[in-house]
Amino acid sequence: EEKGWVGVWEDMCVSTWWRTGLHVGSADPTVTCVFRQNCILPCNVDPSSDTIIHWDHLTSGEHNVHSYYDTEDQLGRQDQQFKGRTSLFQDLISRGNGSLRLTGVKIQDEGRYSCYSNLPLLFLMCLLGWFAALIKVSIKLVENRIICSSEWIYPQPELSWSVNPPSELEINSPTMVHQTEEQLYSISSSLLVSDRLYDQTYSCTVSSSRNKKTASFCKSNISIIWNLWKKISFCLCVSFFSLFLVCRTQLLVRTNWDNIYIYIIKISFFTCFMFYMRFSATETKT
């Protein structure tokens, strides 16, 4: 499993048409495939010694996916997109099973497929469904900005902000969208927040055509207090460090008590510094 990957699924609509005169029938079972995993597209064929099977991808023209005749695979016309990724169940063809095994499912694989055999039945499979990522949304506070982000989504997602209770400030934050080589999307946005506002919940919603997820960050009195402590600890660090320098300059290390004072100042400075680093590194995720 790739880093940051949650899971992407494709729902496929399957239709079967009978070309017997003018009669056309249809059924809509569903095949579910896992992105980057293997998928089986079902098809029944004539279980004879001269079985012919042609799988084609019909979304943009007619592209050969896999062909079988003369009792062996015939891949001379196979489209480049499917090379090395298709196979039939050779030991089951004699039983009428012409199902196609497609490995490493890609977004480009969506569309309509036909399975043509030497039967009067034309089997059409349409993969006109959608990829809907199990979206994971990250939200965190960095200084005075709330950052929301999500990745590995298809199709292109949208991002929106909301505040509860409603604020008089207009929420108008630009959204950045990036598409990977695999045609998956990453999306992010940041919102500038005021230190004067507290006890507010900022919600970020990332949505695709069939899925959405909301993450929230609460800017409460606690965050205000933490920011205040960060500033106070910084001031204390500066004060203790300055006092330490003064003590060294005045050579106040002549007695044991003076040594104790210097030791206390050092400990205080170190403690303040650790508090400051702790508050500075604080981020909130939901």
In the structure, what pLDDT confidence band is assigned to residue 22 with cuts at 50, 70 and 90? Answer: very low
Question: Which H or E element spans position 238?
Answer: helix 221-249
56/27: higher pLDDT:
56
Name the amino acid, one letter, at 192: L
- Whole-number pLDDT of residue 138: 93
**CB of 177 within 8 A of CB of 156?**
yes
Q: Is the pLDDT of residue 47 over 60?
A: yes
Distance CA 205, CA 150 (A): 10
Highest mean pLDDT among 78-82, 227-231, 249-253: 78-82
- Whole-number pLDDT of residue 17: 35
Domain 8-129 and domain 135-219, same fold? Reply is: yes
For residue 45 the two structure tokens come to 């064929």
Widest pairwise Cα distance in the chain = 112
CB atoms within 10 A of CB 154: 22
Mean pLDDT in residue range 27-40: 69
- Whole-number pLDDT of residue 137: 92
Task: Choose which CATH entry (2.60.40.10, 3.40.50.300, 3.30.465.10, 3.20.20.70) describes domain 8-129.
Answer: 2.60.40.10
105/25: higher pLDDT:
105
pLDDT digits (tens, 9 = 90+) for 66-113: 999 999 999 999 999 999 999 999 999 999 999 999 998 888 887 778
Q: Strand, helix or coil at 24?
A: coil
For 164-182, b/e burial (b = at least 16 CB within 10 A) is: eeeeeeeeebeeeeeeeee
Q: What region does 182 belong to: left with phi over 0, alpha with psi -120 to 50, or beta?
A: alpha
* CB burial of residue 194 (10 Å; 0-12, 13-18, 19+): exposed
Which residue ranges make up each domain of the chain? 8-129, 135-219, 222-280
pTM for this entry: 0.53
Half-sphere exposure of 40 (CA within 13 A, CB side): 8
Task: Choose which CATH entry (1.10.340.30, 3.30.1490.120, 3.40.640.10, 2.60.40.10) describes domain 135-219.
Answer: 2.60.40.10
The percent of residues in the chain predicted with pLDDT above 70, rounded, is 55
Residues 6+ apart with CB under 8 A from 233: 272, 273, 275, 276, 279
Q: Is the pLDDT of residue 209 over 90?
A: no
Output the CA–CA distances (angstroms, integers) from residue 226 to 135, 192, 195, 272, in the order listed.
31, 18, 11, 14
